[in-house]
Amino acid sequence: MVKFNFNPGDKIEITTKKEALSGLFMPSKENTFILKLDNGYNLGIDKKNIKKVKLLSKYKEKKPKSSKVKQNSKLPTITILHTGGTIASKVDYETGGVIARFSPEELLEMFPELKKIVNLKSRLVSNMWSEDLNFQHYNLLAKEVEKEVKAGADGVIITHGTDTLHYTSSALAFILENLKIPVILVGSQRSSDRGSSDAALNLICACNFIANSKFQDVAICMHSSMEDESCYILPATKSRKLHSSRRDAFKAINTDPIALVDKQGKIEYSQKVKQKKGKLNLRLFKEVKVGILKAHPNMLSKEVSFYKDYDGLILEGTGLGHFPINKTDSSTTENEKVFTELKKLSKKIPVVMTSQCIFGRINMNVYTTGRKLQEIGVLGNGLDMTTETAFIKLAWLLSNFKKQDVFELISENISNEINERIKDDFLE
Ligand code: ASP
């Protein structure tokens, strides 16, 4: 029986029934042995056909050059806080593994253009996929931003996985009261070493924006189109990932992007940049329990009652803000039960309606369904918050205010999460 206990990158020689091959051992699947040949191609060989393997030399990890890079202290100082995700990662083609590059030296080696725009500092806050982040990470990040503000940074860039980037931007916008520097979240859909990577442009645009703008808030910086030319600066509480793989996956919802920044640093604003007063104050998250329940056909009342021990609930309703609550024939008796459970819940905790439509506003005055939901205390009428922002806002309010006040505060515009006038809006 041939043994295959090698490490990725080990140089080996394989003998099959037909030939002898040498190359680098790559992370391999159960029955297939993957060998990187000297010409760079990966070859999959059925393990059954291998007669002999021999280790030629063990893999030695190459240390990045990491020589101290000279920076220009006259340029604005930016700190990059890394949280993980695709953006700062690189595939090591010798081993096939993904390696992360986080020090300023490594970043400047990867993105040398940044040296001309800013004076860079960077450190690792966490190294994880964004789908694994939670409220504690938002608190940690906010405290790290506070440290940078105190240390005199001109701006902060947070590199972040794209999946939940818009949750984190919302959370930071609520936590960081009176923030007076730009805090820009940057992600990338393709890892930094791929020809098609969006990482470099997103970082360059974020640096250009920080270096040349008086913006004082949290925002997102991602590709404005499929082209590699410019990025949008998107509002922290009114943006969303709308595509699973495109570089321009992020869009502003129910509002315009804040600005368009191009490679050369030209900025075109489409929203006014407001200046803030007062001292930076952090209002952090506590361990509150908030859920999101999406309306769907054939809903069961136990899906609603599941949330009876929660502190708050977001209902992602259909259309203008509806849930299946009407008994209209013999097959819709469960809907009545859904209504009863919603009634019980809304008496106890804030239950807030958002829309599956993503774009547009909640209007529970148009149909009787909406009116009935309002009567039992479902909140959110007239609001245009995304589900993700409503979720973050509700959890943040419950963490910082008395429960009875949260019922009122959910409808107040706290961090630009509500737009009173959407283009093409209609309110009766
Ligand atoms: N799942 C990854 C994340 O959100 C995708 C990415 O890095 O963009 O962290």
Instruction: Output the DSSP codes for 15-29.
Output: EESS-EEEEEE----
Cβ–ligand 1 distance for 126 under 6 Å, the answer no
And the tokens for 128?
């994880």
Phi, psi at 239, each rounded to 5°? -140, 165
Decide if 274 contacts 310 (C-beta within 8 A): no
Distance (Å, whole) CA 366 – CA 322: 10
Backbone angles phi, psi at 399, to 5 degrees: -80, -25
Whole-number pLDDT of residue 4: 74
Residue with the smallest CA separation from ligand 1 atom 3 is: 161
Specify the pLDDT at position 428: 42
| pLDDT recorded at residue 91 | 57
pTM of the model: 0.84
Backbone angles phi, psi at 353, to 5 degrees: -90, 135
Provide the token pair at 59.
């893999």
What is the per-residue pLDDT for 203?
93
Helices (H), 165-286: 165-175, 199-212
Q: What is the mean pLDDT of each run of 10 residues along the chain (428 residues)?
A: 76 89 78 76 83 87 59 90 78 58 74 89 87 96 98 96 96 97 93 74 95 96 94 98 95 97 94 87 98 98 98 98 98 98 98 98 97 98 98 98 98 96 60
The response to whether residue 161 sits with its C-beta less than 6 Å from ligand 1 reads yes
Please tell me the predicted confidence (pLDDT) of residue 100: 63
Identify the pLDDT of residue 412: 98
CA of 171 to the centre of ligand 1 (A): 18
- Whether residue 129 has its Cβ less than 6 Å from ligand 1: yes
Query: What pLDDT was estimated at residue 214?
Result: 93
The CA R_g of the chain, rounded to the nearest whole Å, is 26
162 is catalytic: yes
86 noted as active-site residue: yes
Q: How far apart are CA 233 and CA 211, in angstroms?
A: 14
Task: Determine the pLDDT at residue 343.
Answer: 98
Number of CB atoms found within 10 A of residue 68's CB: 7
* Amino acid 101: pLDDT: 64
pLDDT of residue 36: 76
pLDDT at 67: 54
Residue nearest to atom 2 of ligand 1 (CA): 161
90 is a catalytic site residue: no
Q: Which domains, ranges and CATH numbers included, belong to the chain? A: 11-57 (2.30.30.520), 77-282 (3.40.50.1170), 290-409 (3.40.50.40)
Question: What residue type is 109 in one-letter code?
Answer: E
